[in-house]
Structure 1
Amino acid sequence: MTSSIRLDKRDLILAKGAEVMTRRGYHGAGVQEIVQAAGVPKGSFYHYFASKEDFALQALQQVYAPRLARYAEALANPALSPRQRILDYYAELVAHFARQERLEYHCFIGSLSFEMAELSPAIGAEVDAILQRSADILQACLEQALAAGELAADEDCGNLAGFIGHAWQGALTRLKVASNTRVLDDFLRRLERLLAA
């Protein structure tokens, strides 16, 4: 029972702290603000995390492990063609942003990568590993699309997966500046053409 309570408190700090860090950035999010958001004493933070950098590393894993699992599941759906899996996944992400009452930028990995990738090699390496896992998931689906004749026979699936991932991250960055989803709609239209055989 005690270990469950400890795990819940750690998860709470990670979830609330990641939200704070996404909004305020790594340097703008102090430990005090993180624990206030989680509603726990400051000592709890240092019980679970050796430093703010350690917190950020654990938060990246906490936030992105389930997201990568959902991505892998969506891109492995046998009920749809490989091409349709990819298009449906990104269409749902775009629809998610369009449904927001107040459009906000919610990309934790984007926030950390811009601010910390060069300053903290450990955070930079974790961000790169997460983005690479995402690209690997997409590449596997693109290879299935290639085998099914949904892509040009000479398509380089690794390069294409990287390009799509970079384009999506760029679209999210532009979303932060533009505060409307037109850039995401543009991404989706271009993705449809990009994946045409």
Structure 2
Amino acid sequence: MARVTPHTDTRQGILDTAYGLVGAKGFSGVGLNEILATAGVPKGSFYHYFGSKEAFGEALLADYFESYLADLDTTLAEPGLSHAERLMKYWRKWQATQGSIDDQRKCLAVKLAAEVSDLSEAMRLALKSGTAGIIERLSGAIAAGVAEGSLTVEGEPRTIAEMLYHVWLGASLMAKIVRTDAPFEAALGTTRRILGLSSH
């Protein structure tokens, strides 16, 4: 399925290059010149694809969430596991990526939410859409887990999904502050209790 063309490659190359830079420095902390120099792309090409830095930020978030949601879909459909096991695997993957020192794979929702939501309505809406997609998938997995009997929750699956996502966002922010895994371990324990799972 050869879908890429030079046009697509250049645009995607700029986005791929930006992940690590924005993940490390934030959106405002990275200039276009740094992104383009690292990607080896002339400034004219950038404006051909994105038009403005804000449009680029919106595209970066859309591209990030597209990949993130595809990976989440794969995790939540992994064969041979219960819905409870799939959900817990997702949370452990979150801990592994957000607890690492590699800014390349850090969650852009965690990194950029506070920074750009007040600066750019387009980027805020991209964040809102992407996180809504995550919560929707978690809600479906929780409902399926209750139906199969691997989960026991008190409340509507969507409410539970929102609550857990908020717990993990908070844990990610606190982990940045304390520089330990303690917030993630607490989030895992809270997640297990909310989903009616044992501590093992």
TM beyond 0.5:
yes
How many angstroms does 1:162 deviate by? 0.2
- 1:178 is aligned to 178
List 4+ stretches of structure 1 deviating above 3 A. Answer: 95-98, 102-105, 150-154
Aligned residue runs from structure 1 range 110-125, under 5 A: 110-125=110-125
- 1:143 is aligned to 143
CA distance in structure 1 between the aligned counterparts of 2:166 and 2:97, rounded to whole angstroms? 20
Q: Which runs of 5+ in 2 are unaligned?
A: none
Task: Give the residue type in structure 1 aligned to 2:13.
Answer: L
CA distance in structure 1 between the aligned counterparts of 2:186 and 2:153, rounded to whole angstroms? 26
Partner SS for 1:93: helix
**Could you list the per-position Cα deviations for residues 109-136 of structure 1 after superposition, in whole angstroms to 9, with x for gaps in the alignment?**
2222111112211111110110000000
Aligned residue runs from structure 1 range 89-168, under 5 A: 89-96=90-97, 100=100, 102=101, 106-152=106-152, 154-168=154-168
Q: How many residues align?
A: 194
How many angstroms does 1:180 deviate by? 2.1
Identity %: 28
**More displaced stretch, 128-137 vs 19-28:** 19-28
Q: Call closer, same or farther: CA 1:172–1:154 in 2, change over 3 Å.
A: closer
Q: Which runs of 5+ in 1 are unaligned?
A: none
Aligned residue runs from structure 1 range 1-197, under 5 A: 4-96=5-97, 100=100, 102=101, 106-152=106-152, 154-196=154-196
Q: Call closer, same or farther: CA 1:73–1:178 in 2, change over 3 Å.
A: same
**Could you list the per-position Cα deviations for residues 12-58 of structure 1 after superposition, in whole angstroms to 9, with x for gaps in the alignment?**
11111232222222221111111122122222211211100110111
